[in-house]
Structure 1
Amino acid sequence: MNLFRLDASIFPATSASAEIADRTQTEWATVHPQGTVHRRHLGTDPLPANAWALATTAGMTPEPERTAAQRDALALATTLAGELENADAVILAVPFYNYGVSQHFKTWVDLVIAGSGPTTPLLKATPTALITTLGGGYGPGAPREGWDHSTAYLQRIVGDIWKADVTLIKRELTLAAHTPGMEGLKDLAEQQHSQALATARDTGRALAEV
Structure 2
Amino acid sequence: MTVLRVDASIRHEGSVSRALTAELTSGQEVVHRDLAAMRGLADAWQDVVLGGAATLVTTLADEVFAADAIVVGAPVYDFGIPVALKAWLGLLIADPRLNPRGGLGTALAGKPVALAVVSGWTYEPDGPRAGWNHAVPYLRRIFADVFGADVSLHLREGTVQKAASPQASV
Q: CA-to-partner distance for each residue in 1:25-47, whole Å, 9 max, x for gaps? A: 114x2xxxxx3x21110112234
Higher strand share: 2
Aligned amino acid, residue 104 of structure 1: A
Superposition pairs for residues 109-148 of structure 1, below 5 Å?
A: 109-116=89-96, 117-119=98-100, 121-148=106-133
Report what 1:74 is aligned to: 54
* Contact 2:10–2:36 (CA under 8 A) maintained in structure 1: yes
- Distance in 2 (CA, whole Å) between partners of 1:43 and 1:57 is 23
Aligned amino acid, residue 151 of structure 1: V
Runs of 4+ in 1 over 4 A off after TM superposition: none
- Indicate yes or no: 2:42 matched with 1:49: yes
Higher helix share: 1
* Contact 2:41–2:88 (CA under 8 A) maintained in structure 1: no
> Per-residue deviation at 1:78?
1.3
Q: TM-score scaled to structure 1, two decimals?
A: 0.71
Report what 1:169 is aligned to: 154
Q: CA-to-partner distance for each residue in 1:50-105, whole Å, 9 max, x for gaps? A: 211221232xxxxxxxxxxx2xx111011111111111111111110001111111
* Equivalences, count: 160
Structure 2 residue runs of 5 or longer lacking an equivalent are: 166-170
Report what 2:83 is aligned to: 103
Q: TM-score scaled to structure 2, two decimals?
A: 0.86
Aligned amino acid, residue 84 of structure 2: H
Report what 1:153 is aligned to: 138
Report what 1:93 is aligned to: 73
> Per-residue deviation at 1:18?
1.1
* Contact 1:7–1:43 (CA under 8 A) maintained in structure 2: yes
Report what 2:168 is aligned to: none
> Per-residue deviation at 1:154?
0.4
Aligned amino acid, residue 138 of structure 2: Y
Aligned amino acid, residue 139 of structure 1: E
Which has more radius of gyration?
Answer: 1
* Contact 1:52–1:107 (CA under 8 A) maintained in structure 2: yes
Report what 1:19 is aligned to: 19
Identity %, equivalent residues: 35
Report what 1:32 is aligned to: none
